[in-house]
Chain A
Amino acid sequence: DIVVTQSPDSLAVSLGERATINCKSSQTVFFSSNNKNYLAWYQQKPGQPPNLLISWASTREPGVPDRFSGSGSGTDFTLTISSLQAEDVAIYYCQEYFDTPGTFGQGTKVEIK
């Protein structure tokens, strides 16, 4: 099974500053036949289900603000919030869907400094 590890477990960032979350999978999630990375990012706020932010490692979902971006390939990925807003306080999860069911990272809690 693929193991997915996020870092850090939590971070505090000032409003307007950049937040960076890393995600590492134990095996590649790049599928060469379609040139895609099978990696998603979710945001979860307290008392709510997760919300899909980014799929295929870097494709922002409709309605997701462009301050959210995803990058990386193979086994190493990054979610960047370019200018943190108060409404971005949440836990962020990456998930590989190369396997089924996919494996989630342990989550990264983002707070305001």
Chain B
Amino acid sequence: QVRLVESGGGVVQPGTSLRLSCEASGFTFSTYGMNWVRQAPGKGLEGVASIWYDGSTQYYTYSVKDRFTISRDNSKNILYLQINSLRAEDTAVYYCARDQMLWSGGGGMDVWGQGTTVTVSS
């Protein structure tokens, strides 16, 4: 079945780095745009980064633009999120999610992982 499984979260100190992974299965990963969405404890959803199906173009929300890097390895069906200079406000559950529409993206996000938790604390 169609599945996304995130990993790489944990408890980390401020200023350090972390790489999150999202392993996709059950669909042709290389034909879909992908996204990272985070949710701070008790808060709403925030789209933080998106990437085209072929990895050629990335988008970031303004608040993370210089610290987050989204990438993908279509040969391994894995999406990544590199987070540098972690701050307390990055504490959240990080979800990866698939664009509903093939190739062009859009249509909302129709497949979500269960999320991986990042806690930034000294």
Complex contact A101–B106 (CB within 8 A): no
CB of B71 closer than 8 Å to a CB of A? no
Does A77 interact with chain B (Cβ within 8 Å)?
no
Residue count of chain B within 8 Å CB distance of chain A: 26
Judge if B83 is at the interface, Cβ distance under 8 Å: no
Interface string of A30-46 (1 = CB under 8 A from B): 00000000101010100
A contact residues around B49 at 8 Å (CB): 101
The distance from the CB of A26 to the nearest CB of chain B, in whole angstroms, is: 15
Number of A-B pairs, beta carbon distance below 8 Å: 67
Q: What is the distance, in angstroms, from B32's C-beta to the closest C-beta of chain A?
A: 14
> Which positions 15-71 of chain A face chain B at CB distance < 8 Å?
38, 40, 42, 44, 49-52, 54-56, 61
By the criterion CB–CB under 8 Å, are A38 and B106 in contact? Answer: yes
Q: B106, A1: Cβ atoms under 8 Å?
A: no
CA distance A44 to B43 in the complex (A): 12
Find out whether the CB atom of A49 lies under 8 angstroms from the CB atom of B106: no
Main secondary structure of the interface of B (DSSP, over half): strand
Given contacts A95-B108, A97-B106, contact A104 B46 (CB under 8 A): yes
Closest to A38 in B: B106
**Cβ 8 A contact of A101, one of B61, B107, B110, B114:** B61
- CB-CB contacts below 8 Å: A66-113 with B: 91, 93, 95, 97, 100-107
Flag if A97 contacts B107 (CB, 8 Å).
yes
B91 at the interface (CB under 8 A from A): no
Give the residue of A56, A95, A100 whose beta carbon is less than 8 angstroms from that of B105: A100
- A101 with B112, Cβ < 8 A, contacts A49-B95, A55-B100, A56-B107 known: no
Contact A100 B59 (CB under 8 A): yes
Contact of A52 among B44, B47, B105, B110 (CB under 8 A): B110
List of 4 A-B pairs having minimum Cβ-Cβ separation, nearest first: A40-B108, A101-B47, A49-B112, A55-B108
B positions within 8 Å CB-CB of A: 35, 37, 44-50, 59-62, 95, 97, 100, 105-110, 112-115
